[in-house]
Structure 1
């Protein structure tokens, strides 16, 4: 102990690592009891960048090292050896401060499947109360939605002709209209809802953390980079971290909770000597606790982006016109409406890639604009984007540290399209997109398929297009999966197997990725984790 006496930061009941989607929830709920001392550590800075709070600001915050970790994957043979940028929030709110604001929970069966894998307490009926607890739904309360939570969920404040045509075209192909994909059923086409209020982003930091910071028993430290978990035998006792050029220790008398995300949480575990022994030895880390599943089971949604040129005007025209661009800015400043309120997509479709499936296996994100990637600017012609992803991919990747240095980024190996079924779904998904584009509502206004292009026709060519024109949709999960098998990292109470006083609570615990966007489920995980911690620790 003498080694650490001069660098102990303090002693707390709970230490939460990561002020992201789940971490902000945990900090809020755990600090509700004024007798409980909570420390929240965030490697990034405050959410003071004004672009964080403008919904379309993700064009400015993604790939910006001031707010984004700017991860890059290893070369991936499944996508022609390409390396993909993987934005992850490095700021209060985590990725909820730079994501596309889309509020999607997934399918009821996702959570029932988690429970069927032996994860007691995680069926849809059991997690629904936590979704409702978080939510302040602008449409009002019903069996599936709440109105008393801090997370604002609202309808889009933007409508465009091309989006209406896309919805009608989907219906013409047999996809039913569904105004609430977070309600009784997910299947169908409709407008997304977004985590926004009166034209401003509602991140997890704004919803959960900002109100809680008024409490004297909650301590927040930004620019605090976690180095490792402190272990005494098989007991987690605190965190070693860096802050303002110093190495400091924080002690946890009750628990340490990792909420650093699907990349950060397994990295911290591995740097602490918790992981696969041979891998840890190969990078110079002493194995303190063998747990081979740490960093394994990586899953992500891979989107295949189709771009269609149109003869009707889209947001590309507004953005590329200087006068119209000035008008867009004025509209937002005066009324918090218009294109600057745009979420990452306007229209969703959840449907089957082929006949005979019992539930949707693909999701569309339709944008009334087109660009090569966020931050590059829109194309200089009228166009819209219809990206499509497989909801429950079979391919599995991994996250592995490269050295004992916690500042060195880990190896990210998604292994996209490595499963035969994923290749089949990719090909069928492109065919579904083309059927929608050829429907009566869209065909008259489409002048060309810009990406991937009509030269891709056979199944082999369509798979080649999927490998060439796909991108992450920013949903990494499952690298500290919940379960009871040999590759599980946490149990159904989110306690790390074999270690006392240590939990993981973020998207990394998903045994199987949810059928949709991951921010709302991550917030739910934070809510449920907080309740489980209180129950297990005897709080009232």
Structure 2
């Protein structure tokens, strides 16, 4: 896969002299031919472009729900970093320390911090929390560009013991801040742009194969020997001494399952020859459960057309729920909720459970690579997530009724990412009108 991690792997491995084949199911865009919607500092255009998504991927979102919805999963060079919100928030230190405590040696916060520093070229900070020589630029949506809505929310945060913190990737405490972005001069810098520039693509030992789907991994005994691919030119086999699987949280387990690596009983029912009976493949899928409250903004309180980024402010706070770590909840403040005229008039407080405990599954209904896997996130199946999200809704409802916001955020209402909202969000002339 040529997503965020695949681009990094292709760069680093080819730099060591290895012969590398990077296989991406979606289109590849070299530096001189990156589409304008991907480059745009406002990510909603690229995010809504179905050319960059797996078209038929759907998922069951919440627990006890039989309804399946289209799930936006990137299928383009750079992966999610080519279509997402460009937000460069790091994970919480407590999460990494927990990984190390259960056996992931070297993945504690102090162990991963040098790698965060190595990957970035932070344009605002030069302390030990940040790097200044990496390939990925990190800039921030300046406080001076905040809309009237964002300034009012900031006042409400201050009154709610969530103070302003200049560096959101340094101090991991409750508070709010400007948003760090993978962005330079108001233009996106994806993992593909950062790690696969012309100089890297010119390496004779690196080949990028785009619009090509990996059908399955091939094996001899318990040794992976290569991959079988499918594209417009037909099936092809590539042998390799090492195969690195970077197909994301959904398609990585799906590919393992199609290749006979996973729970033997499930594979046998689909007629897939079992290579390795590993029960954990396709288990423990996680996603952040979140909802939002939107409101109409007066023209003077809306986002300026010249402002940097899309999300103007982030906040994190501690739920205080028993057994949950600090800074386990998050809020994004959007002074423009979508690219179209309606979205430009709406401000949104988008909030979610940042440290989730609910887990879902990825499974197969068919052995064919043409059939998307069955994805069940099973959000809110853990009561800790459900209770914290309910508390978060009450917290944000109180926030939007703060005296600083009552004359700024007008007629607030719950807003969700429904099928109708997705249809309105598609980038076309009809929706703009």
Q: TM-score, normalised by structure 1?
A: 0.72
Give 2:9's aligned residue: 26
1:41 aligns with 2:26: no
Q: Whole-Å Cα distance in 2 between the matches of residues 182 and 103 of structure 1?
A: 8
Give 1:214's aligned residue: 202
Please report how far the alpha carbon of residue 391 of structure 1 lies from its aligned counterpart in structure 2 after TM superposition. Answer: 1.1
Please report how far the alpha carbon of residue 408 of structure 1 lies from its aligned counterpart in structure 2 after TM superposition. Answer: 1.0
Q: Is the 8 A contact 1:241 1:248 kept in 2?
A: yes
Q: Whole-Å Cα distance in 1 between the matches of residues 301 and 148 of structure 2?
A: 8
Please report how far the alpha carbon of residue 122 of structure 1 lies from its aligned counterpart in structure 2 after TM superposition. Answer: 0.6
Task: Find the partner of 1:436 among 358, 383, 399.
Answer: 399
Q: Is the 8 A contact 2:60 2:375 kept in 1?
A: no
Spell out structure 1 runs of 4+ moving beyond 6 A.
none
Give 1:346's aligned residue: 312
Give 1:105's aligned residue: 90
Q: Whole-Å Cα distance in 1 between the matches of residues 162 and 377 of structure 2?
A: 31
Q: Would the alpha carbon gap of residues 186 and 104 (structure 1) be closer, same or farther in structure 2, given more than 3 Å must change? A: farther
Q: Would the alpha carbon gap of residues 431 and 447 (structure 1) be closer, same or farther in structure 2, given more than 3 Å must change? A: same
Give 1:120's aligned residue: 105
RCO comparison, higher one (Cα < 8 Å, 6+): 1
Q: Is the 8 A contact 2:302 2:344 kept in 1?
A: no
What is the total number of aligned residue pairs between the two structures? 411
Task: Find the partner of 1:54 among 7, 31, 40.
Answer: 40
Q: TM-score, normalised by structure 2?
A: 0.89
1:363 aligns with 2:361: no
Q: Which moved more, 1:68-77 or 1:187-196?
A: 68-77
Please report how far the alpha carbon of residue 350 of structure 1 lies from its aligned counterpart in structure 2 after TM superposition. Answer: 0.3
Q: Is the 8 A contact 1:306 1:387 kept in 2?
A: yes
Q: Is the 8 A contact 2:272 2:367 kept in 1?
A: yes
Please report how far the alpha carbon of residue 426 of structure 1 lies from its aligned counterpart in structure 2 after TM superposition. Answer: 1.1
Give 1:238's aligned residue: 226
Give 1:461's aligned residue: none
Give 2:422's aligned residue: none
Q: Is the 8 A contact 2:320 2:326 kept in 1?
A: no
CA RMSD of aligned residues (A): 2.2
Q: Is the 8 A contact 2:290 2:389 kept in 1?
A: no
Please report how far the alpha carbon of residue 380 of structure 1 lies from its aligned counterpart in structure 2 after TM superposition. Answer: 7.1
Q: How do 1:150-165 residues align onto structure 2 when only pairs under 5 Å count? A: 150-156=135-141, 158-165=145-152
Identify unmatched segments of 5+ residues in structure 2. 420-433
- Measured against aligned partners, the alpha-carbon deviations of 1:120-163 in whole angstroms (never above 9, x if no partner) come to 11111111111111000001321110011000110126431211
DSSP-derived class of the 2:150 partner? helix
1:223 aligns with 2:223: no
Q: How do 1:60-75 residues align onto structure 2 when only pairs under 5 Å count? A: 60-70=45-55, 72-75=57-60
Q: Whole-Å Cα distance in 2 between the matches of residues 295 and 195 of structure 1?
A: 30
Q: How do 1:24-423 residues align onto structure 2 when only pairs under 5 Å count? A: 24-34=7-17, 36-47=18-29, 48-56=34-42, 58-70=43-55, 72-76=57-61, 78=63, 81-156=66-141, 158-210=145-197, 211-253=199-241, 255-311=242-298, 313-315=300-302, 328=305, 338-339=306-307, 341-343=308-310, 345-354=311-320, 359-371=326-338, 377-379=340-342, 382-423=345-386
